Amino acid sequence: AEVDRLFQEATRGEKEWRFECRIRRPDGAVRWITAAGGYQRDGEGRAIRMAGIVQDITALKQADEALRD
């Protein structure tokens, strides 16, 4: 719900967005992702295209947790 809220807020305000969260894949595996994106604008500043990237950071999160332990 929080990720959806952040994404909707960024979409309405045509702002850049960035977040980390856990997801559950269709096969039941739990993974951590980071996602970021923004807008391409025309010469008058209007948003014409949205683009972003999602990266699996599960291994990084697991390494951080191992260091804390």
Task: Summarize pLDDT for 25-56 with one digit per residue, the tens.
Answer: 999 999 999 999 998 889 998 888 989 999 99
pTM (two decimals): 0.72
pLDDT at 11: 78
pLDDT at 12: 81
Q: Is the pLDDT of residue 24 over 90?
A: yes
Rounded to whole angstroms, how far apart are CA atoms 31 and 54? Answer: 12
Rounded to whole angstroms, how far apart are CA atoms 66 and 69? Answer: 5
Q: Over pLDDT 90: what percentage of the chain?
A: 55
Rounded to whole angstroms, how far apart are CA atoms 22 and 54? Answer: 12
